[in-house]
């Protein structure tokens, strides 16, 4: 049953994004009075038949659409990680670039977290595998089914990570007063 928010209730809506040129996951998580709820999750899937610029445009367009539709307060993006293949890092950097551009063009605040920070925040272990992250995301959001693909569950994890971090930051600010 839907009920309007009272002034005492605090609400935050965060869009998490796990950028990738083949598959970019995104998910929207809302926090109302310490209760987390998944609003939506999906992924932008590209195929090798698309040129790389076409992939970037498709990712940008779909993220812009989702940002305008779901109107998050903050976008939490997974940061770059170490990789051996230089070409892969460059493509991931370009994919992150269109992700950041979409958020900035929508006027949405950005937050960036490393994969280690996200896993630590959600699972409690920075080296957790994708299955562990997916299972914990499903548990934290009280989902009946696991969010798929892993890119979408990773994106939801990024959103949850930001909610955890922003709550901690608020407590630190209050403690300093």
> How far apart are the C-alpha atoms of 75 and 63, rounded to whole Å?
11
pLDDT in tens, 108-161: 999 999 999 999 999 999 999 999 999 999 999 999 999 999 999 999 999 999
Residue 54 is a catalytic residue: no
Mention every residue, 6+ apart, whose C-beta is less than 8 A from residue 63. 17, 24, 26, 44, 98, 99, 102, 103
Answer yes or no: are the C-beta atoms of 103 and 117 closer than 8 Å: no
The residue from 18, 30, 117, 154 that is catalytic is 18
Of these residues, 30, 78, 117, 154, which one is catalytic?
78
112 closest CA partner among 170, 159, 153? 159
Q: What is the CA radius of gyration of the chain?
A: 16
Fold assignment, 11-176:
Nucleotidyltransferase; domain 5 (3.30.420)
Residue 64, judged by CB atoms within 10 A of its CB (0-12, 13-18, 19+), counts as middle
Pairing of strands 23-32, 109-113: unpaired
| Mean pLDDT value of segment 148-177 | 83
Residues ≥6 apart with Cβ < 8 Å to 51? none
Query: Of these residues, 30, 31, 117, 151, which one is catalytic?
Result: 151
Rounded-to-integer distance, Cα 172 and Cα 177, Å: 9
The pTM assigned to this predicted structure is: 0.89
Task: Enter the tokens of residue 73.
Answer: 């307060």
Q: Where are the domains of the chain?
A: 11-176
Flag whether pLDDT at 12 surpasses 90. Answer: yes
- 151 carries an active-site annotation: yes
Closest by CA position to 11, among listed 84, 72, 87: 72
Annotation says 73 is catalytic = no
Q: Give tens-digit pLDDT for 82-95.
A: 667 888 889 999 99
């Amino acid at each position: 049953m839907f009920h309007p928010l009272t002034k005492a209730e605090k609400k935050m809506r965060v869009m998490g994004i796990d950028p990738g040129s083949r598959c970019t996951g995104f998910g929207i998580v809302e926090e109302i009075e310490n209760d987390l709820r998944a609003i939506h999750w999906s992924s932008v899937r590209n195929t090798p038949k698309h040129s790389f610029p076409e992939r970037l445009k498709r990712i940008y367009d779909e993220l812009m659409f989702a940002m305008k539709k779901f109107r998050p307060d903050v976008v939490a993006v997974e940061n770059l990680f170490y990789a051996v293949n230089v070409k892969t890092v460059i493509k991931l950097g370009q994919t992150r670039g269109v992700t950041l551009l979409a958020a900035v063009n929508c006027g949405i605040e950005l937050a960036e977290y490393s994969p280690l920070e996200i896993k630590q925040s959600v699972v409690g272990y920075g080296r957790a595998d994708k299955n562990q992250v997916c299972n914990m995301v499903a548990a934290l959001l009280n989902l009946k089914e696991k969010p798929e693909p892993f890119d979408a569950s990773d994106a939801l994890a990024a959103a949850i990570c930001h909610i955890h971090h922003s709550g901690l930051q608020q407590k630190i600010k209050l403690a300093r007063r």
